[in-house]
């Protein structure tokens, strides 16, 4: 929130739309994005069927199901050290160029090679824009909810609601 505030992105007008260019240049948000992909990789497994190959000296007969796991790699202490099991976005801001490059090479959050996610660019754009839009304007969304949904007692909860431009009913 401090980063959004200093970047002037805590809007009081909920129809201001942040651009991807602006959102993707926020260092802490970028670190949170990278850490989220590492810490909670959305794909647990990336399965493949062997065509009869040798991996690290081990022969994998044709037809055998094999898999890598972005989740397991993301928690590797060899890569991320003793704090691998902690959600710590700052690691991406503290790391040197060489380390960042190495982490990037091992990041399978979007898959890799020829089967890499075809929707990566649009998904990344959505992640950055929605994070700023929802977090930066949360007070305004809360205000909208107070106005229209006060009977729901949402103040003790933490959830967000997507509203059509034309407005929608809370009944
Ligand atoms: C947070 C959002 C997303 C994540 C984390 C994600 C992740 C992935 C991963 C890890 C793969 C590789 C699967 C594999 O190798 O077995 C993949 C493949 C793919 N993704 Fe995504 N994806 C996301 C959103 C999207 C979106 C929005 C689209 C389309 C607009 C999309 C389209 C595809 C397609 C078509 C493939 C298959 C590519 C191929 O096999 O050649 N993804 N995705």
Helix ranges (H only) for the chain are 2-6, 20-23, 27-39, 70-74, 77-80, 90-94, 97-105, 120-136, 138-149
- Quick check: 44 and 171 in contact, CB under 8 A? no
Cβ(45) – ligand 1 distance below 6 Å: no
The answer for residues whose C-beta is within 8 angstroms of residue 171's C-beta and 6 or more apart is: none
Residues 81 and 158 in one domain: no
Kindly state the DSSP code that residue 84 receives in the 8-state scheme: T
Ranges in the chain, pLDDT < 70: 11-16, 136-171
147 shares a domain with 123: no
pLDDT value, residue 2: 82
**What's the structural domain count of the chain?**
2
- 118 with 168, same domain: the answer is no
Cβ 111 under 6 angstroms from ligand 1: yes
Q: Is 167 touching ligand 1 by the criterion CB < 6 Å? A: no
- The pTM (predicted TM-score) of the whole model is 0.79
- At residue 9, the pLDDT reads 79
- The CB of 46 under 6 Å from ligand 1? The reply is yes
- Do residues 116 and 145 both lie within one domain? no
Q: Are residues 64 and 111 in the same domain?
A: yes
pLDDT for res 152: 47
Residue pLDDT, tens place only, 117-167? 999 999 999 999 888 877 766 445 555 555 444 444 444 444 555 555 555
Task: Provide the Cα torsion 37, 121, 9, 140; round to 10°.
Answer: -80
Q: What pLDDT score was predicted for residue 12?
A: 57
Q: For position 148, what pLDDT does the model report? A: 47
Spacing, Cα 108 to ligand 1 middle (Å): 11
DSSP state letters, 33-76: HHHHHHHT-S-S-EEEE-SSEEETTEEE-TT-EEEE-HHHHHT-
**CB of residue 104 inside a 6 A radius of ligand 1:** no
d(CA 108, CA 116): 9
Structural domain of residue 156, as residue ranges? Answer: 137-171
- On whether both 99 and 20 belong to a single domain, the answer is yes
Distance of CA 150 from the midpoint of ligand 1 (Å)? 39
Mutate to test the pocket of ligand 1, among 36, 119, 122 (most ligand atoms within 8 A of CB): 119
| Residues 46 and 121 occupy one common structural domain | yes
63 lies in the same domain as 78: yes
What is the reported pLDDT for 130? 85
Cα(81) to centroid(ligand 1), Å: 28
């Amino acid at each position: 929130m401090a980063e959004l505030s200093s970047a002037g992105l805590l809007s009081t007008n909920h129809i201001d739309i942040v651009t991807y260019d602006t959102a993707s240049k926020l260092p802490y948000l970028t670190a949170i994005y990278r850490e989220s992909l590492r810490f909670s990789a959305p794909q647990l497994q990336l399965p493949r069927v062997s065509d009869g190959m040798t991996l690290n000296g081990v022969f994998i007969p044709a037809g055998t199901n094999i898999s890598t796991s972005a989740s397991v790699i993301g928690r590797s202490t060899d890569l991320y050290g003793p704090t691998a099991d902690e959600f710590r976005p700052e690691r991406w801001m503290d790391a040197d160029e060489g380390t960042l490059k190495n982490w990037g090479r091992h990041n399978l959050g979007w898959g890799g090679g020829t089967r890499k996610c075809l929707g990566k660019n649009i998904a990344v754009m959505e992640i950055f824009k929605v994070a700023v839009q929802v977090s930066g304007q949360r007070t305004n969304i809360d205000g909208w909810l107070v106005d229209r949904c006060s009977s729901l007692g949402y103040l003790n909860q933490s959830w967000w609601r997507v509203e059509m431009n034309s407005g929608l009913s809370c009944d």
